[in-house]
Structure formats: C-alpha cells, structure tokens
Amino acid sequence: MKAIIAEKPSVAREIAQLLQISEQKNGYLTGNGYCVTWALGHLVSLAMPEDYNIQSFQKESLPIIPNPFQLTQKKIKKGKSYHPDPLATKQLRIIKEVFDQCSSIIVATDAGREGELIFRYIYDYLKCKKPFERLWISSLTEKAIAEGFKQLKARSDFDGLYHAGKARSEADWLVGINASQALSISGGDEVYSLGRVQTPTLALICKRFYEHQNFKSTKYWVIQLHHRKSYIDFTSQSSNQWEDQKSAEQILRFIERKGRAEVTDIQIKTVSEPAPLLFDLTALQKEANRKLGFSADETLQIAQSLYEKKFITYPRTGSRYIPEDLWTQIPELVRSLSVHEKYKYGVSKLQFGNFNKRMVNDLKVTDHYALLITGKIPSTVSAKENAVYDMIAFSLLESLSDACVKEISHIAITVNDYEFKAKGLKILQKGWRAIKGILSEHHENTDSLADLPELKIGDELNISQSEILEKITQPLKLYTEADVLSAMENAGKLIEDKEVQKAIHTIGIGTPATRAAIIETLLRRNYVERKNKLLTPTQKGLQVFELVKDTKIANVQMTAEWEMALHQIEQGESDEVDFLNHIKVYT
C-alpha cells in the first residue's frame, strides 16, 4: 500500500479519481493499492517563544535563538493566546494513520518551495521514516497527472528546495520575532510587527509617499501650434518652456505675426516592439490590478481556483518561458481556443507553422514554466475567473505573434529661431497588437498614435492657430498595487551601490508566490491602506518606518541578498547552515 498526500482535499480527489480510488474514509480515500490523504495548507509550523518556555516581550529574553528549532501543529488565536487548531489536530492524526499503514509515500503537495516545506514539516513532526517520492507537475489535467505518476522523482532531487524553504522559514522567524519584540519593547504600549520582506516593502511604500508629499509643483508654459497639410491636421509644441506666462505671451504674439513655419529637420526610425512574454504570477497580478482593479491576493486566489479546476497550469510560477519539449503542445492549445467566438479573431491573426518562438528558453524555466491554458475552456465559472482566464489565453496568442513594427517620426519645425517639435507614429505591421483588434490598448511603453502628412525639409507650413498651454510639474505617482509588485520584483535595481546592484539586479524581495501575502499582511496590520487603486501608508505605518528606516531590516539590499542566498541553497550552490549563522549574527 502506498500513501499519497496532496496539499488540499480538492487535489487529492482529482488524483484519486484518476487512479480509480473511490472508497471514502474519514479524511482520506483508499483503493487500488493507495491511500490518498491531504494537508490543509500549513498544518505544522515553527514553535513560538512560549513553546520554549521563553517569556515574550521581555528585554532580557532577547535575542531569542532556538537551538534547535522545534515544530508544532498549527495554532489559532483565541483572545490573547494561541491554542491548537482542532482541524489541524484531527488531520494530522489521520495523516499519521495513513502513513503508518503504508510502505511508502508519494508527495503531491504543490510543486514549489512552500509545497515542499508543508510536506517535510508534517513528515518530520510525525517522526515518519517511510521512504517517499515526489509527484512534480505543473497542471492538474488527467494527462499531466498520469505522466507525473509515470515519472515520479527521487526525494533527493528536492532536498535543495526543502533546505531553501526551511532556511527561509527559520530566517523569517529569527528576524520577525526578535525585531518585532525589540521594537515593541522600545515603543512602550504599542505592539509592532517587523519582517524580513514585510519591512523593506513598507519602506518602499513610505519612501514613495514622502517623495510624492514633499514634491513642490511649479507651473510652466509652452506654445502649441496647429498646422494643416494635405488635409491632415496636426500640432507641434515648443521645445522651450517658460517659467512666466508673460514671456510666453510675448513670443506667441511674435509667432502669430509671422504666421508661417518651416520644417528644418526630419528623423524617421523604425521600431520593432516584441510580442510580450507569457505571464508569470507577478506579471499576471500587475496586469489584473491595472486592467481589472484586482488586488494581488485576489488574482492569486482566482488563478489558484482556475488551476484546481484544470483550466490553467500551476500559477505560482516565477518564469515567463516554457521548455523546448513543451513547444509541440502549443498548436493544440491554440486550436482549443479557435472554436470559441471571443478568441476566433485573435487565432485568425496567427500563422500556424510560423509561430513566434520567443517564449521557449530552457535556461529561464525555473521550478515551473510560464502560465498557460490547458485546453479545457471554462464554461460555468465566475465573471472574475473568466476575466483572468481571458488574460492568460490572450497572452498566449499575443506571445505567439510577430512583433509590432512602427515608424516613428520626429519633426523639427522652426519659426525664426524658435523650435517646435511634432511626433508621428505609423503602424507598419500590427503584429501582436492585432490579436485583440485594439491597437491603442494600454501597454507599457506604448506611444499614442498620431498621423502626420508626408513632409520634407524646407516645407513651409501655415499656422492656423496658436495657443499657450499651462503645464505643471508632476510628482512621482503614489504606488498602485501593481507598482508595489514591480518595486518588489525589481528591488535589486533600486540599490545605490553600483557594484552590488550589478551582482543582484535580477533579484527581488519576496517570491511570486509570497508577494501578495506580504501586501495583505501590511494591510491587515494597518501599516498601509487601499485608497481607490492606491496603496498608501497609515499613520502607524509611517511611525514604524520612521523607527526603522536607517536599520538593516528596512534595507532592500540586504533582503535581496538573502533572496539570492536562498536561491543558491535551492540550487545546491550554498549551505543553509552558513546562511542561518549569518542571520543569527545579524539578529
């Protein structure tokens, strides 16, 4: 008899159905030589200071450094204290019963760092010694599960993943518990919470808030001219800006007396805008926040639901690429979309046999490849699930398309010694922007469309109208949730030390799977609040930032370096003991 443990009951039932396991027991299913049970997320976690008989929030207790760390079952808060969660107690007892009656275990928790840790903590807590293998899949379709069972992985293949997850968990405990208690003790009556990723994320939001708040806007004026040539109306704007309106008005009167302008320079360049890559989780969360107003956590929950319903592949991915061996399945995924009305137009713009292969890169595929549809099209799902599915489906069609090719014209127009500029943009090849039939839809780095007539140097242009435009300098915008995700993802690029930045510029803070939870933690602890689509610090959040802004715990560089170290542990390139010793010294 073999035991199979999934992360959630719904996944366990999918596996049981495929393996024709139908006998329902209390907390597990059995039959056909298997017992299938499940965790309920994190059933086991690191013990709290009280479990070591250490009194919390006492100066003499700090620093608290367990040696060794102990595991305890999940606890829930009742009043001011924590008590064992009865659901966790019951399920752990069932899992032990299943493990005891089986000769070996197949681990089917989510295929990632946290999924690995969930199982290993349960395994260690129950003092289990049974051998185990790993089911590693990126989709819950019958085909993916069946193939995964044919290619079960050895335990040792995922030891690095476990050690990275364990090191992350223990580092977060050491930093979070000690820093939170130290700050709370020094702060008096208020209880504060600090964390390895949470605090630098709060610092990013607070810094942007202060930059926005302290910005002093100033007015300036520019002159705009209206022209008409070959039945096409267009405008040009002065290169100069004037800080006082009267100077601009004086020059405007001079230009109006002239009444004509001359084309003095034309620069035309062709720009190829590559098709966007497939989504990873962070990219999906950013797009859903911009387009649909969804929070990062809401998008993750929707994507997880679509995954468990077999409509998309594993959502907690940090890669925007697929491996070479998956490429042969892409045409069939496209065909599955072609029979549905809302995707037909997009599919018709693709050339079968000549797809853009930019998404294929074995070296850039991490634990999981990019988000893909599975070929099963949703029918009875919520409107929000439909909207997120559409984003993933259309991203596949766009990524398979050719580049969008534009011709950008920069025209210099002169009235005496005053220079004006006009900018034109012509689409030479629609490429991926034709998929939805909306060329002007917002995408990053998209130029607004402007039609210019054919012009050549020396052409004289009539000035049909001229006017002064009042402008005002703008502060950096407050962060939306999409902006915070970008700042977390690209935190390495924010480091001022250029040598250090060069080494870790691709490293962010947090992971695609944890960033939404970090934002929700800041909201739950009343450190930040949502105002419309913006995330702004509360008075409490600003207070915390002022107390820690010059310490290492608020430093993006340190956190990014730790993320890099965890990645190296996962890859077997670094040792978790050395990493944790460094954390203990810091603590």
CA dihedral sign, ordered 86, 87, 89, 93: positive
Q: DSSP code of 430?
A: -
Terminal-residue alpha carbon distance, the chain: 46
| Three-state SS at 53 | coil
User: Considering only CA atoms, which of 580, 443, 567, 554 is closest in space to residue 192?
Assistant: 554
Which residue shows structure tokens 């020094």?
A: 186
Count, residues in the chain: 587
Residues in contact with 527: Cβ distance below 8 Å, sequence separation at least 6, in sequence order: 202, 537, 538, 540, 541, 544
Tell me, what amino acid is at 214? Answer: N
Is residue 348 within 8 A of residue 437, CB to CB? The reply is no
- What residue ranges in 166-288 does DSSP mark as E strands? 219-229, 232-238, 260-273
Rg (the chain; Cα; Å) = 29
Is 527 part of the annotated catalytic residue set?
no
Report the largest interatomic distance among the alpha carbons of the chain, rounded to a whole angstrom. 97
Three-class secondary structure assignment of 58-73: CHHHCCCCCCCCCEEE
| Residues paired with 153 in a beta bridge | 134
Query: For residues 535 and 518, what is the distance between their CA atoms, to the nearest angstrom?
Result: 13
Give 211's DSSP letter. H
Catalytic residue among 314, 343, 389, 527: 314
The span from the CA of 58 to the CA of 181, in Å, is: 8
Calpha distance 139→127 (Å, rounded): 31
Q: What angle do CA 311, 315, 316 make, to 5 degrees?
A: 165
Cite the DSSP H helix spans in 33-105: 86-100
CA distance 497 to 170: 28
Contact 213, 568 (CB under 8 A): no
CA distance 108 to 133: 9
Contact assessment for residue 371 and residue 303, using Cβ atoms and an 8 Å cutoff: yes
Residues with a catalytic annotation lie at 314
